[in-house]
Amino acid sequence: MTTGAVPSVEPPGAAAHAIEVARGQPTGDGVVARPPYLGREELDALFSVEEFEPLAAARMHPTTYQYIRGWAGTGWTAAENMRAFQRWVFRPRFMRDVTHLDTSTTVLGETVAAPILFAPTSVHKLAHPHGEAATAGAARALDIVQVLSTGSSTSLEDIAGIGPKRWFQLYWYTDRGLTRELVERAVAAGFTALVLTVDAPVIGWRETERRTAMVKPDDATAVLLPEDLSGVAQATDLTWESLEWLRSVSPLPLVLKGIGRSDDARLAAAHGADALIVSNHGGRQLDGGIATLDALPGVAAAVEGLHGAGGRPLEVYMDGGVRRGTDVVKALALGARAVLIGRPVQWGLATGGEAGVLRMLELIFGEFRSAMGLCGATRPSEITRAMVTRNPEPTAPRV
């Protein structure tokens, strides 16, 4: 195992961190705690996503758990992402035939069992030795898309053999050769969309990561990047015009992750995006930023009627704080075609590997199906804005 301490002050240009977890210098030893994972029977006794977090925390080194849980600054935005869901309540419709509920939809033309994707989060081997392969197995079983991170601890080619529905999340490096190679590998390995993360040109101010050295298993490394990360730096000079180059080296549909404003959404459409993800990196980048659910309606309205470079209507997804099936219905009512889930995937992995991720998502899935039907919709496309309204008592906590 190794320990990575994050320097107290980022070196100049280290906005350009290679990946979230690979920063820092080795400083010493630690103990990586990995008590037995829960089996199928024990997992079946869990009934909410919230139950997974403490079980996951107990199975990870505290510093690893903190890294996954972490946020920028005070953590206000990370918490706000979740609070935003409490600001909306349902206006259910009844006396509608909901005999046949179908949660399936399409994302970029690909049929998926539910409007839920696995968000790209780095180094899944922090949470479980099978890492992204376990996540891919769960995505296959659930018939949903896994978005593989540039910070993956499993190779693109290994994932290709497991998960049939896979997109690749790209960080763009100053070394265009490296960036291009990542794109080419993703294309060759059959990934069907490229998700460019735009909200991290500068690294967020992560106080916990700065304060505490992370203790991690030896195999928990970003295998898609060069072993020597000293020369690897994220590009800080990207502009809308830069997308032209990316589109010239990638035949894949382009998804921009981290859009939160209507003007940026329209610019993204004008520069060839096929889909947008309203995201603030789970509150890990700019503390004080708007909750993603609050940003979503404006972005969705801004691109209504616009088409992506591939000719399809531009799609809008969102992530940040989605923990329940009811959250998924609210996001769809406010303009998202689908949502992505970040931290809970890591909790599922740490609790029970592939079976843990499967169970975690089955719960969100099940509640989504139930809530959709109770709102009077038989399929995601029938979920409308009229099914939610602002919460008259917005401070009411979740029980």
Ligand X SMILES: Cc1cc2nc3c(=O)[nH]c(=O)nc-3n(C[C@H](O)[C@H](O)[C@H](O)COP(=O)(O)O)c2cc1C
Position among 151, 253, 348, 376 found at the interface with ligand X (CB under 6 A): 151
Alpha-carbon torsion (198, 168, 384, 303), positive or negative: positive
Q: How far is the CB of 161 from ligand X (least distance, A)?
A: 22
Answer left, alpha or beta for residue 199, where phi above 0 means left and psi between -120 and 50 means alpha.
alpha
Position among 63, 121, 146, 154 found at the interface with ligand X (CB under 6 A): 121
CA dist 355 and 346 (Å) reads 12
Residue nearest to ligand X (CB): 342
**Per-position b or e across 257-269, b if 16+ CB within 10 A of its CB:** bbbbebebbebbb
341 contacts 317 by C-beta, under 8 angstroms: no
- Told to check if 348 binds ligand X by CB under 6 A, we report no
- Told to check if 376 binds ligand X by CB under 6 A, we report no
Residues with a catalytic annotation lie at 281
Q: Measured from the CB atom, is 151 or 373 closer to ligand X?
A: 151
The two tokens of residue 206 are: 């992560």
Q: Which stretch binds ligand X (CB under 6 A): 233-241, 301-309, 327-335, 341-349?
A: 341-349
Q: How far is the CB of 7 from ligand X (least distance, A)?
A: 19
Q: Measured from the CB atom, is 112 or 345 closer to ligand X?
A: 345
The site map against ligand X for 40-79 (x = CB under 6 A) is ----------------------------x-----------
Closest CA to 35 of 385, 367, 352: 352
Q: CA distances (Å), 215 to each of 36, 54, 67, 156, 314, in order?
A: 19, 19, 10, 25, 41
Q: How far is the CB of 91 from ligand X (least distance, A)?
A: 26
Give the pairing type, strands 388-390 and 88-90. antiparallel
Give the pairing type, strands 315-319 and 338-341. parallel
Residue pointed to by tokens 């280290």: 14
Give the pairing type, strands 214-216 and 2-5. antiparallel
- Told to check if 120 binds ligand X by CB under 6 A, we report yes
**Total residues contacting ligand X (rule CB under 6 A)?**
24
Position among 105, 153, 197, 234 found at the interface with ligand X (CB under 6 A): 197
Closest CA to 84 of 266, 344, 278: 278
Q: How far is the CB of 285 from ligand X (least distance, A)?
A: 9
CA dist 108 and 311 (Å) reads 10
Interface of this chain with ligand X, residues 300 to 339, rule: CB under 6 A = 319-322
Position among 37, 343, 347, 351 found at the interface with ligand X (CB under 6 A): 343
- Told to check if 154 binds ligand X by CB under 6 A, we report no
Residue type, 241: E
Position among 342, 352, 353, 373 found at the interface with ligand X (CB under 6 A): 342
Q: Measured from the CB atom, is 242 or 378 closer to ligand X?
A: 242
Position among 122, 135, 146, 326 found at the interface with ligand X (CB under 6 A): 122
**Residues engaged in binding ligand X (CB under 6 A):** 20, 68, 81, 119-122, 149-151, 169, 197, 257, 279, 281-282, 284, 319-322, 341-343
